[in-house]
Amino acid sequence: MKKVILTILAGFLLLSAVSLDVSAAKKSSKLSKEAITEMSDSIDKLTQKIYGRALLSPQDNETLIGIKIKLDNQMLVSPSTELAPLYYKAGNIYRLRDMKPEAIECYQTVLENFSDTALAPKARAALESLGVTVAAPASTDETDDTDEGI
């Protein structure tokens, strides 16, 4: 009887330790407000350089690539509407630099993941200006004909 109680107690402690690790990982995986602000400022500086007809340095290219990687990693962990403006601005930079595939990817991310934000129509327009045909998402009816027999 003691072995059963000790086994259950040990299992409970192990389960609680694992759940604490998972919740801590979720909290630490989210980008901080400071990181998002820093990325936004960097994108704004790069945009100013492009509009000022200045060439981007290799360091500027590294910064842009690093921001895109951080955004993509964050989307995998936990998408947040705070990322929509960053993706849209990055898409603008890529479009201005004639990097069409990267721009399309950024605008597509805004359209697919943040369709309820004010940037979705802008991303749709930008995709259309790049020659991408944007189809409206298919509506899902709760009373689908195939599910009636179940």
Segment 104-116 mean pLDDT: 93
pLDDT, averaged across the chain: 80
Q: In terms of residue numbers, what domain contains 51?
A: 33-129
Radius of gyration of the chain (CA): 22
Q: In the prediction, which pLDDT does 18 show?
A: 54
Query: Could you tell me the two tokens for 115?
Result: 């369709």
CA angle at 71 for the pair 67 and 77, rounded to the nearest 5° = 145
Indicate whether 93 belongs to any domain: yes
Residue 61 lies in a domain: yes
The residue among 64 and 24 whose pLDDT is bigger is 64
The number of folded domains in the chain is 1
Q: What is the pLDDT of residue 19?
A: 57
Residue 139 lies in a domain: no
Query: Is residue 91 in some structural domain?
Result: yes
Is 7 inside a domain boundary?
A: no
Q: What pLDDT is recorded for position 22?
A: 45
Per-residue pLDDT at 5 exceeds 60: yes
CATH code at position 111: 1.25.40
Predicted local confidence at residue 83, as pLDDT: 92
Whether 59 maps to a domain, the answer reads yes
Tell me, yes or no, whether 6 lies in a domain: no
Q: How confident is the model at residue 11 (pLDDT cuts 50, 70, 90)?
A: low
Q: Is residue 44 part of a domain?
A: yes
Report yes or no on whether pTM surpasses 0.85: no
Contact status, residue 54 vs residue 8, Cβ threshold 8 Å: no
What does the pLDDT look like over 42-77, one tens digit per residue?
A: 988 888 888 787 777 888 889 989 999 999 999 998
Token pair, residue 94, equals: 């890529």
Burial 47-68 (b: 16+ CB within 10 A, else e): eeebeeeeeeeeebeebbeebb
